[in-house]
Structure 1
Amino acid sequence: MQAALNFPPMSSSPSPSPTIQLFIRLFSGKTLVLTTPLTATVASLHAQIATLTKIPSTEQRLIYQGKQLQPHHTLSQCTLVNDSNLQLLARLKSTVHPHMWQLLVDLVKLILHCCKFGPDCSRKSIDCRFDYLSASEFRFEYESNDFVVKAVLTRVLGFISKDEDAEHCRIFLASFTPQALVTLYTSRFTGNRVMGNNAIRDFVGSLSSSKFLLIMRHCALVVLEFCKLLRIRVGTSDGLYIFCRDSLGCMFGDKGFGRCDVKDLIDVSEFVPFIDEFAAALSSQLVLSMGSEAFVGVSSYDVRRFSLFVYAVRNEILANKLGPGSGVEAGGCPHDEGMEMLWGVFKYLMGIMDLCLEKMEGRLAVEDKENLGHMSCRWKKYLRILKGLNGLAKMVEGGEELFWGTFMKREASLTYLIFKFAKRTHDQTWILVEKFTNFETRRHLFMMMFPGVKDENHEMLIDRSQLLEESFAYIVNAKIEALHSGLCVEFKHEEATGPGVLREWFYLVCQEIFNPQNALFVACPNDRRRFFPNPASKVDPLHLGYFKFSGRFIALALMHKIQVGIVFDRVFFVQLAGKNVCLEDICDADPYLYKSCKTILEMDADMVDQDALGLTFIREGYELGTREVVELCARGENISVTSRNRKKYIDLLIQHSFVTSIAEQVAHFIQGFSDIMDSAHMKTRVLLQKSFFKNINLEELDWMLYGRESALCLEDWRAHTKYVGFQETDPQICWFWKIVGEMSAKRRRRFLSFWTSIKYLPVEGFRGLASQLNIYLTNNSSDHLPSSSTCFYRLSLPPYPSEEIMRDRLQIITQEHVDRSFGIS
């Protein structure tokens, strides 16, 4: 049993009961609860403690109100009362860090003296000299009590900062110093209260600074003790309590403190009251957000602190292997009071959020989303609260089912919040874990992992005859900050610039990167659109540099929302996502090997054991024209494949063929891809890259890189086209759409490329383009061909006098190899 400790009041009358209950704080921070007669001696108390703790009675000493209890005295003679708090110490000569103990014992004596006689009382009547403080720090006889308390705590901070094992923090907790300081703060004397307030603020403020980062967990335990004491003594609205609570939240932040020794585990239930406080505040504000027109919005401060404490608790659970939902059994029956309270907080706040989103959906259904005004401001913090609730859901059994089940019903509200309020500076991957949102919403979140395209341009002048080599030099040698800005491409001896040329450059370079003749990537036999790294790419000494370039290039294409017309094979994608490659992943990359492995697994066990296969743990193959034999494990050439080890053989074969053989290529691709992620710090960029591939699925990545594969829809095309100088009913426009409708699928794509420099539409079709397409009437004669401004999706069309002439002109510009470089910009 763990009891809450209250520092005993200065004056209290003995209990009339002959039997009293005592709380004895051990050095480890735990508390013993003993019941004993008032007539018992201190020696008998030592004996009881020895039985429970195995600490010999001769090594014990009990401290009460700053004084050591003598073994021959009775408890009555020591003026002990019911619920008294005692401190168990080892004898000073055998105690670790005796100087720290002595300082704190003297400090507690001084504080109790001030509580009894006032802040300006004389110290002559008490035995405390602070011998471990140097004369240069203060002159004991002449300095004020306030100055002495500050000087002692400053020295204590010095001890703590130099102690990697945090023993001084444990001594501070075991010495009753926090209780004494809180008693000083709650004293009847105004001067004492000021002294206690300043001392606690200075001490806690120092502990939460970066100077104590290496032992921050242990410092947090000290601050937590102050929070618990202040919550009991002065309540949750007190300024000093709020200061200590906020300092504790900042010490944990969003990352927690990682693993720790068993003796330093932080009881999750200790943090639940903090979560409950902020959840109560948020609940009342959320209720207001649904009603009063004058309400301005949910407090950012309360949202931030709620999230901090939620993630502090969650990270403690994960870091110490307590496991998600460890506090609540299936069916919602909690193991302990703390987790039961956590479940109650989560369920109540979830109910409030559900009502808020339901109300929000009603508003969105009847009002213009662009003109919601002050109502939209009320919803600004909803997404942050949902993120905190998502963290809370991971800690309680059944929480995630309730969380995602609720918001599957509220997808419209969640989608609005994501597009309106999600920021690049916030981690939104928690939404991506569950794939219930639509592709457009998920793509929006994925795109937020990349920098927003800026106005500054990284300029490139490219010779078409040296397309890959010059593009490689520009991209690989560029500073990362330059690539995070916009790109401006111009081809030598051509005047055209702008987004149209940029789209063409992306498409052409991508065709070169994934051209099998360049030996960087291999096309899948079953799907020539899909590629994975070529194990033989080392034929080019610069191949790893080109893989880094490829990673940067693909990330830049995603950042600029340009479809490049290729997709990754699963065997490559799985490695980018940090997962293990299995047999089913190689079915497109190597259909022959896939079929052979399936056959081996499905063969009759007796046949395999009779060595019908004649296989050993080796892999034979040819690389650059040379036969190569590789052992899949130690002495693999001497190990026959049997029914018992065939699964291991296949796993090792796949590992070597598709992982080990291209490990360097994949690593350099990942490095290049990470360079483009939205962060100034390399470690954060790497984490974003991992998060991107971990949360996206292959089909979604296909859509972002390749776009829509189906035939171009004429009705969709026509619906997203405007006319300047023409009317929709003009003969030329009627002929135009008739001719386009009669084109083959290939010619339509060439015509779209001529008009926009786009070969592959986004998944949403023409609706997904940056703007509508335009057909302009020009004054050119009918001898002229149509021209285009690909930057603005503008097609300039002369007023052709007949359908036949128009058909002839459109056929010319849709011939193979003519669609490129026709546009003016």
Structure 2
Amino acid sequence: MFSGKTLVIQADSSDTVASLHWKIHSITGIRPIQSTSSAVPSMQEGLIYRGKQLELSQTLSECGIQNDDTLQLVRRMRSMHHPQTWKLMSDLNLIIDDLCNCNDNPNIITYVTRLSNMLTDFLIKTPNYSADGSEEYLHIFIHSSVPSSLVKLYVSPSLITKQAAHGCICQFVQNCLNHFTNPTTVYRLIAPILFEFCTILRGAAGVDDDLYLFFRSRLAAMMVENVHDVKHVLTLHHVFPFVDELATTLSHSLELSAQSPDFKQLSDSDVLVFIQLMHSVKQVIRRQTAFGSPVSLPWLMQDEAANELKGVHTIICNLLDKMDLCLKELENQLALVNIGRREPIVGCWFQYLLILKELESISKLYKGLEEMFWEKMSQRGVGLCYLIGRLSKKSTDYQWILEHKEVTNFKTRQRFALQMLQEGRHMREELWEMLISRSRLFEDSFEYIGHASRRSLRGQLFIRFENEEATGPGVLREWFSLVCEAIFNPQNALFVSCPNDGRRFFPNPGKHLLYTNMSYERRFYLIFPQI
């Protein structure tokens, strides 16, 4: 099926394709195409075998179908729109089917080249100037079962065909991203393709497959970038399976982390993709809830159609329990520090805070869940304050915690207050960047100073020497020392004495005219830039 699932159907060789359709209908509820000659595009499904759609009146023996053969259930194979594109899709399925049966045939390279060229030809025929026109072509690609065929080739036991399918799939997706240059329509056009491949790969190759994980991360990043595209955003029904599997993985990892003495590291990729997907989930839930009010759990239990909303609530509660275990273990470790044990340094603690921040954010969308979250955090205030004190770089990163004073101690709040004051001071100061060549130190310095405003010179100076990587206060001090030496160098004097009359002076006519024309105020700022 186009979803990547497989059904086993029992039939006789004398059965017609129409009877086979009705057997599928009795299991899945999917209605077959009613007419193969209708001029109106059909939105139902059809069966294809070796790249060709089967006629309803044909028998299985007439179609050459043998025992244990695989047919593909696809959507909208009959259409009067873009017949050449449908023909190309049919040829693609036929080539892929031949590749699946090729195994280690020496002609396999020829088949792979033809497959790659045909995918490229499809994109060449796809317009990139009209989003609606492009969408029609890409829907044909999705509904023609080509993605399912490519994945079938990808999971084949032959290493050669698997690599060929991997290269064709990745190349096709990348070519799609390059083909559509309008950033406002890329998500609308590419996200359905990524979602189709993710759905089929998850069922056929498993959730640990590298290609599946790659496409899932690309889809999650694309959803975050276009989260406000309400018209074309994926629904919670589409996103929830990815969120559910990631939450299961993170839950298991957090449990192992709490049980290991050195707090086992979590996967950075899993944490990042989970946060990206949850960002989209929050937007979808906000659009589904009435007037922005929190979702009520009793209402969810009575509504049979709210399975995904109930599933997200279960995920949050489960991850919150696992985070409670991790913070409890952290507090146990800190208690050992107090009796002389060396303080542990663990890289996954930053991931703890990222997950907690996401859980706190989505807990606001469910009635009573936010109160449950902060009740657990108040019980683990010692571990939470320790994480904040060790990992906080900017006060804005953990401002969400400070809104609830009951979970933090005085020392933590004092630290944040000082940090906010320090950040506020730096935010008011301008940063004046200067790239200096050592061979032209005097000229470059005065040129930058000459174009700087007085406000910039009162702020911070960022100095970097040309073709050197070092920056920071040490480089600033070195530059300041070299500039002072150059200023008081007799060769760089502002005035030189007249050779015929020692009582007279005139401006130095050398190469430092910029310095000569500079006001005394700017020269003072140059020597004392921080005053």
TM-score clears 0.5 = yes
The structural deviation recorded for 1:147 is 1.6
How many residue pairs are counted as aligned between the two chains? 426
Question: Do structure 1's residue 184 and structure 2's residue 169 form an aligned pair?
Answer: no
CA deviation map 1:332-354 (0-9, x unaligned):
62644333332222111100111
Q: How does 1:130-145 map to 2 (within 5 A)?
A: 144-145=110-111
Which residue of 147, 150, 170 maps to 2:139? 170
For the 8 Å contact 1:204–1:247, the answer to whether it is kept is no
Q: Could you tell me which amino acid in structure 1 is paired with residue 388 of structure 2?
A: I
Question: Do structure 1's residue 86 and structure 2's residue 73 form an aligned pair?
Answer: yes
Q: Could you tell me which amino acid in structure 1 is paired with residue 222 of structure 2?
A: M
Q: Superposition RMSD on alpha carbons, in Å?
A: 4.8
Q: Could you tell me which amino acid in structure 1 is paired with residue 190 of structure 2?
A: C
Which residue of 220, 233, 239 maps to 2:191? 220
CA deviation map 1:555-606 (0-9, x unaligned):
xxxxxxxxxxxxxxxxxxxxxxxxxxxxxxxxxxxxxxxxxxxxxxxxxxxx
Question: Do structure 1's residue 409 and structure 2's residue 379 form an aligned pair?
Answer: yes
For the 8 Å contact 1:216–1:251, the answer to whether it is kept is yes
Q: How does 1:318-329 map to 2 (within 5 A)?
A: 318=286, 329=297
Equivalence for 1:250: 221
Equivalence for 2:48: 64
Question: Do structure 1's residue 337 and structure 2's residue 334 form an aligned pair?
Answer: no
Equivalence for 2:267: 299
For the 8 Å contact 1:328–1:397, the answer to whether it is kept is yes
Distance in 2 of aligned mates of 1:420 and 1:323: 40
Greater RCO (Cα-Cα under 8 Å, separation 6 or more): 2
**Residues 105/397 of structure 1: CA separation in 2 closer, same or farther (3 Å cut):** farther
Q: Tell me, which stretches of 5 or more residues in structure 2 are unaligned?
A: 433-451, 463-530
Equivalence for 1:770: none
Equivalence for 2:488: none
Equivalence for 2:460: 485
Distance in 1 of aligned mates of 2:177 and 2:147: 16
The structural deviation recorded for 1:384 is 0.9
The structural deviation recorded for 1:177 is 1.3
For the 8 Å contact 1:332–1:398, the answer to whether it is kept is no
The structural deviation recorded for 1:437 is 5.6
Q: Secondary structure at the match of 1:381?
A: helix
Equivalence for 1:279: 247
Q: Secondary structure at the match of 1:64?
A: strand
Identity of aligned residues (%): 24
For the 8 Å contact 1:286–1:356, the answer to whether it is kept is yes
**Residues 250/58 of structure 1: CA separation in 2 closer, same or farther (3 Å cut):** closer
**Residues 449/305 of structure 1: CA separation in 2 closer, same or farther (3 Å cut):** farther
Equivalence for 2:229: 259
The structural deviation recorded for 1:191 is 2.3
CA deviation map 1:602-649 (0-9, x unaligned):
xxxxxxxxxxxxxxxxxxxxxxxxxxxxxxxxxxxxxxxxxxxxxxxx
Q: Secondary structure at the match of 2:29?
A: strand
The structural deviation recorded for 1:402 is 2.3
Distance in 2 of aligned mates of 1:282 and 1:451: 39
The structural deviation recorded for 1:180 is 0.9
For the 8 Å contact 1:318–1:324, the answer to whether it is kept is yes
For the 8 Å contact 1:411–1:437, the answer to whether it is kept is yes
Equivalence for 1:626: none
Distance in 2 of aligned mates of 1:213 and 1:370: 57
CA deviation map 1:325-378 (0-9, x unaligned):
887643662644333332222111100111222333344466469996434545
CA deviation map 1:124-172 (0-9, x unaligned):
xxxxxxxxxxxxxxxxxxx822122222323444537544233333222
Equivalence for 1:239: 210
Question: Do structure 1's residue 46 and structure 2's residue 34 form an aligned pair?
Answer: yes
Distance in 2 of aligned mates of 1:121 and 1:106: 21
The structural deviation recorded for 1:381 is 2.0
Distance in 2 of aligned mates of 1:297 and 1:57: 53
Distance in 2 of aligned mates of 1:436 and 1:411: 8
CA deviation map 1:245-291 (0-9, x unaligned):
222223224x4432343xx4523133333233333333333334334
Larger Rg computed on CA atoms: 1
Q: Tell me, which stretches of 5 or more residues in structure 1 are unaligned?
A: 25-30, 36-41, 124-142, 459-476, 488-824
Q: Could you tell me which amino acid in structure 2 is paired with residue 181 of structure 1?
A: L
Distance in 2 of aligned mates of 1:479 and 1:370: 54
For the 8 Å contact 2:430–2:459, the answer to whether it is kept is no
Distance in 2 of aligned mates of 1:447 and 1:292: 39
Which residue of 102, 106, 115 maps to 2:100? 115
Question: Do structure 1's residue 14 and structure 2's residue 2 form an aligned pair?
Answer: no
**Residues 189/486 of structure 1: CA separation in 2 closer, same or farther (3 Å cut):** closer
For the 8 Å contact 1:22–1:84, the answer to whether it is kept is no
Equivalence for 1:787: none
Which residue of 316, 319, 333 maps to 1:349? 319
Q: Secondary structure at the match of 2:101?
A: helix
Q: How does 1:417-496 map to 2 (within 5 A)?
A: 417-424=387-394, 427-431=397-401, 440=414, 443=417, 450=424, 452=426, 478=453, 485=460
Distance in 1 of aligned mates of 2:78 and 2:259: 64
Equivalence for 1:820: none
Q: Secondary structure at the match of 1:258?
A: coil
The structural deviation recorded for 1:110 is 1.2
TM-score, structure 1 as length reference = 0.44
Structure in which a larger fraction of residues adopt strand: 1
Distance in 2 of aligned mates of 1:444 and 1:456: 21
Distance in 2 of aligned mates of 1:218 and 1:56: 24
Equivalence for 2:3: 5
TM-score, structure 2 as length reference = 0.64
Distance in 2 of aligned mates of 1:435 and 1:49: 71
For the 8 Å contact 1:223–1:244, the answer to whether it is kept is yes
For the 8 Å contact 2:350–2:391, the answer to whether it is kept is yes
Q: Secondary structure at the match of 1:86?
A: strand
Q: Secondary structure at the match of 1:271?
A: helix
Distance in 2 of aligned mates of 1:83 and 1:203: 25
